[in-house]
Amino acid sequence: MKIVIVNLDSQSANIQATSVIRGIKKQNIESDITVVTSEECVDIYKYNRGINRVIPYSEFKEQSHYCDLFILLSSLFPFSCCPRLEVSDAIGFNFCDEVEKFKYGLWGMENFDMNMFQLYYKLAGLKWKGEGYDIGYYPKTKTKKNRVGIAVANSNLRSYILNELKLDSSSVWNLPRKKNIFRKMDEINKCKRIITDDITIFHLAISLRKYVHFLKTFPLNFNLELFKSGEIYDVPLSTIA
């Protein structure tokens, strides 16, 4: 069975989408799975053993493809740009009235008591049972027991969280900025705890089973799943300015 899974959303969305691949593969053990995503998200699936290949959308739309099952995890997909795509059956966004309402939830028109793992499993016709991320990469670094890693947008946020958690500034370490997702994971893994307002850092840290203090500086239309390993702080607007 040939399956194509498409997610053209952000890095953080694709990191969470790695979870549902495990569920899809479990239901279709002998399947051949292709993931289609944006150029910047291709590396996220590099070590995922549940898929056979990952293709950037820029290449996918220029090729001929047939699939038995097309699973759309993005709210939008430009089918008109893929004239050589032949699909036998399709599920996910745009293909089922049952999930149509979720589109509006993601666009901020409604709020749903749901996390993205539940949403992705629902879109794939499965039920989420608490499965976590499945990036498949094992960091090359070791954890330093007392290190607290911090990755925040500005000094105001840093001061806010140090006061909120009553931390000595000498006990925290600024996470180096790394573009490569696996180098980011290497840096995160050096820490016991992570403090951040960066949603990508949040997901990577939780996937590595770090305790995360997440600073919510923007509204979310879905629940963040902490897997009992973190806290969320609603940061006052005066702190962000």
pLDDT (tens digit per residue) in 119-139? 899 889 899 999 999 999 999
Measured CA distances, 225 to 56, 113, 116, 161, 202 (Å) = 28, 11, 8, 21, 10
pTM flag (> 0.75)? yes
Same fold, 2-123 and 148-240: yes
Domain ranges of the chain: 2-123, 148-240
Report, as an integer, the average pLDDT of 80-101. Answer: 78
The pLDDT, as a whole number, for residue 97 is 55
CATH pick for 148-240 out of 3.40.1130, 1.10.10, 3.40.50, 3.30.420:
3.40.50
Do 22 and 16 form a contact (C-beta atoms < 8 A)?
A: no
pLDDT band at 1 (very low <50, low <70, confident <90, very high): very high
Domain 2-123 falls in which CATH fold? Rossmann fold (3.40.50)
